[in-house]
Amino acid sequence: ETVVPAVPPVAGASLRVPLVTGGDIGYANLDHAASAPCLDAVRSAVDEFLPWYASVHRGAGFASQVSTRLYERTRGVLRRFVDARSGDSVIFTRNTTDAFNLLAKALPRKTSVVVFDSEHHAALLPWRGPNVRRVQLPRTRLAAVSVVDEALAECPQGPRLVVVAGASNVTGELLPVAEIAAVARKHGARVALDAAQLAPHRRISLRELDVDYVALSGHKLYAPFGAGALVGRSDWLRAAEPYLAGGGATKLVTEEAVVWNSGEERHEAGSPNTVGVYALGVACEQLAAQWEAIGAHEAALLERLRKGLAGLPGCAELRFFDAPVDRVGTVSFVVDGFEPGWLAAVLSAEYGIGVRDGAFCAHVAARRLIREAGGEGQQAVRVSLGLGSTEEHVDRLVLALRQIVARGARWEYAKVDGRWAP
């Protein structure tokens, strides 16, 4: 028997959901990679903060001072969370998508961008134009580093940026970020890390990885209050046009001219998401204090899940790399003869299990991996583990899949608006 260590508790542990077959059951949330449940500690911190919540950077009132102090303090929390260099900017955004769109707008003119086609759309699409090179992620980590090396060698002179995810949202596999960063340095390129799927599971060090920027989302970090962050080198950000034009980003506005702020506020026009930012900071502090327990909890559950899926007839896991690599608790698969959307609907309606189906906002990657796994179209099932996951959830999923594969669903399902429903 594996011993699963205690990890910080999250909301939803006592949630019950109705079953189409009658009665109700404890909800098994196996969809942490989409959005993670709220940490209890985040919820109570937010509850405590709400009476003090007021505008930041705008008022002299006591509550405004409290809010401003917590908001500004959180920049330091984020800087420590990703082990940033002193002098790095911490810009609060809505999420990872917002962070990369901000960075894309802040790139110096004619920056060449190298990005794997396997990336989440948030990391794939913000970079546009003739200077973007999309490269296919090959089947070994070593080859992945070489592909970046070759692509950078072909870039014209000028600024260069490599964009790479820390962990794939499709397969959970970790990408060779430090090795890619070393190659990027050789070519004078910068590296932007998409940490949306890595940050909830592993300690990140910008310094050790030698990465220039990192983007992350609060809702995947157990702080679902609508804030995210971009952390990284200040020079390009200071020199860039403000991401949004408006109040808060300016030092002085006259009839003739605007003087923009040069610090982080330059890119934070409009009243910021003070509550979300505070929640994000609390989550980061909670996770940073518990990496060992989190790692052990997720590794034990992942092993249990993979053993269970390995014994499932017709089940093929999606993977980028031929050899097993370090990974977070996210597993996507197809089951021969079963439509992923239908499987997900049955798991929900008859077993109270929440999983994701589809192409996971990584259409290029999903299509390729599904084809390689023997599936059809661009749909798979994704199971993703996190702090709300238990052995019972994993066991229930594996048993449910075995039963469904052996005898089909107990209920009739029909497609309603393109989705299967009982």
The number of beta carbons lying within 10 Å of the beta carbon of residue 185 is 13
Question: Strand 414-416 vs strand 213-217: parallel, antiparallel, or unpaired?
Answer: unpaired
Helix (H, G, I), strand (E, B) or coil at 419: strand
Tokens 């190659």 map to which residue? 183
Least separation, in Å, of the C-beta of 250 and ligand PMP?
27
Give the nearer residue to ligand PMP in terms of CB position, either 286 or 330: 330
Give the nearer residue to ligand PMP in terms of CB position, either 197 or 378: 197
Give the nearer residue to ligand PMP in terms of CB position, either 361 or 398: 361
Give the nearer residue to ligand PMP in terms of CB position, either 211 or 404: 211
- Cα 170 from chain centre: 11
Tell me which amino acid residue 2 is: T
Tokens 């994993």 map to which residue? 394
In whole angstroms, give the CA distance from residue 297 to residue 414.
37
- Residue 51 DSSP label: G
Least separation, in Å, of the C-beta of 103 and ligand PMP?
13
Least separation, in Å, of the C-beta of 51 and ligand PMP?
28
233-245: b (≥16 Cβ within 10 Å) or e: bbebbbebebbee
Question: Can you give the C-alpha Rg of the chain in angstroms?
Answer: 22
Distances in whole angstroms, Cα of residue 147 to Cα of each of 130, 144, 316: 19, 5, 27
Nearest to 225 by CA among 270, 280, 288: 280
Give the nearer residue to ligand PMP in terms of CB position, either 100 or 342: 100
Least separation, in Å, of the C-beta of 99 and ligand PMP?
8
Give the nearer residue to ligand PMP in terms of CB position, either 227 or 409: 227
Are 39 and 223 in contact, with CB atoms under 8 Å apart?
A: yes
H runs (alpha helix) in 174-324: 177-186, 206-209, 234-239, 274-288, 291-310
Tell me which amino acid residue 105 is: K
Least separation, in Å, of the C-beta of 385 and ligand PMP?
14
Give the nearer residue to ligand PMP in terms of CB position, either 43 or 94: 94
Phi first, then psi, for residue 112 (nearest 5°) are -80, 135
Least separation, in Å, of the C-beta of 216 and ligand PMP?
8
In whole angstroms, give the CA distance from residue 222 to residue 157.
41
Give the nearer residue to ligand PMP in terms of CB position, either 196 or 299: 196
In whole angstroms, give the CA distance from residue 59 to residue 81.
29
Helix (H, G, I), strand (E, B) or coil at 22: coil
Nearest to 215 by CA among 192, 238, 249: 192
| Contact residues: ligand PMP, CB under 6 A | 95-97, 120, 122-123, 165, 169, 194, 196-197, 217, 219, 361
Least separation, in Å, of the C-beta of 412 and ligand PMP?
32
Residues facing 325 on adjacent strands:
none
Are 272 and 91 in contact, with CB atoms under 8 Å apart?
A: no
Least separation, in Å, of the C-beta of 413 and ligand PMP?
26
Least separation, in Å, of the C-beta of 359 and ligand PMP?
11
Give the nearer residue to ligand PMP in terms of CB position, either 331 or 401: 331
Helix (H, G, I), strand (E, B) or coil at 327: strand
Least separation, in Å, of the C-beta of 8 and ligand PMP?
21
Give the nearer residue to ligand PMP in terms of CB position, either 294 or 404: 294
